[in-house]
């Protein structure tokens, strides 16, 4: 059975957001963010270890795919189609997925590599997840300690959250571009490739701002932050070559409603 749509829902808003549901003020109007199962999982995750969180996430994703499967079947049968015939046709005539070009693949690998390097950085510098240790390093600064502590907590959270997200969206944008003939996108601007590129760019911008904040407050992070900033700028530069019109893409909700958080 198809899920009940939330009141005043925004169609497809979840396709071009950063998937940080707990921070999104559109959550109650999103078919994904308002899912009761997702809310329940988030509450349960607060008291379990990382391995259990991963297990719960995998189960949730599996359930989502099952729901999508049922929804597609329902839509086909509602339109008078035959589900068994549809599945047989897919099996006998598989869709050929083209690989991105060598240059596009290099961008994808660069973005994925950034994520793994960030992961290793925070694993090696575990003090970044300890407010007490962060505070001790900030004490040498004359400015307000609480303000810096809040700034760095947000910065480190942003950097870690977007580390692999950037690679995922860059991959989606470029593989989509390589297979654009498979999709029914008539508009050269309003298409999934541009939308994926735009949210990747937004994540790059937020990560860049966060690394700049870290570099300003912690002198010992200057070399690492410069390396990561250079990586982000390279990804951004290459992505702009592939998607010069990414800024013009209109994201549902975020670019269409007044005072929306980007």
SS3 of residue 94 by DSSP: coil
pLDDT at residue 1, rounded to an integer: 45
Q: Which residue has the higher pLDDT, 72 or 41?
A: 72
pTM summary value: 0.80
Distance separating alpha carbons of residues 118 and 27, to the nearest angstrom: 28
Distance separating alpha carbons of residues 40 and 49, to the nearest angstrom: 16
Both tokens assigned to 55: 């297990």
Plot region of 261 (φ>0 → left; ψ -120 to 50 → alpha; else → beta) = beta
Asked if 168 contacts 19 with a C-beta cutoff of 8 angstroms, the reply is no
Q: Which residue has the higher pLDDT, 16 or 68?
A: 16
| pLDDT > 70 in the chain, percent | 79
Distance separating alpha carbons of residues 237 and 200, to the nearest angstrom: 12
Both tokens assigned to 121: 């950085």
35 falls in which pLDDT band (50, 70, 90)?
confident
Tell me what the mean pLDDT of segment 78-101 comes to: 79
Q: State pLDDT tens for residues 156-190.
A: 999 999 999 999 999 999 999 998 877 767 788 99
Q: What secondary structure, in 3-state letters, does 195-216 show? A: HHHHHHHHHHHHHHHHHHHHHH
């Amino acid at each position: 059975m198809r899920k009940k749509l939330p009141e005043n829902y925004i169609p497809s808003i979840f396709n071009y957001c950063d998937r940080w549901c707990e921070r999104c003020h559109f959550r109650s109007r999103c078919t994904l963010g308002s899912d009761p199962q997702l809310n329940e999982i988030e509450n349960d995750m607060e008291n379990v270890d990382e391995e259990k969180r991963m297990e719960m996430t995998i189960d949730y994703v599996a359930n989502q795919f099952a729901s999508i499967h049922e929804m597609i079947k329902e839509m086909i049968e509602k339109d008078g189609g035959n589900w068994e015939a549809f599945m047989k046709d897919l099996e006998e005539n598989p869709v050929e997925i083209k690989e991105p070009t060598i240059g596009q693949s290099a961008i994808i690998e660069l973005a994925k590599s950034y994520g793994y390097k960030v992961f290793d950085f925070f694993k090696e510098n575990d003090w970044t997840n300890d407010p007490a240790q962060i505070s001790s390093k900030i004490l040498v600064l004359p400015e307000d300690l609480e303000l810096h502590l809040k700034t760095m907590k947000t910065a480190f959270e942003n950097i870690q959250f977007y580390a692999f997200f950037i690679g995922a969206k860059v991959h989606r944008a470029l593989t989509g571009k390589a297979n654009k003939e498979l999709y029914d996108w008539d508009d050269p601007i309003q298409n999934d490739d541009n939308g994926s590129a735009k949210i990747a760019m937004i994540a790059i911008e937020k990560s860049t701002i966060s690394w700049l904040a870290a570099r300003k407050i912690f002198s010992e992070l200057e070399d690492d932050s410069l390396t990561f900033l250079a990586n982000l700028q390279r990804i951004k530069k290459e992505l702009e070559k592939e998607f010069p019109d990414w800024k013009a893409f209109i994201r549902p909700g975020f670019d269409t409603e007044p005072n929306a958080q980007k």
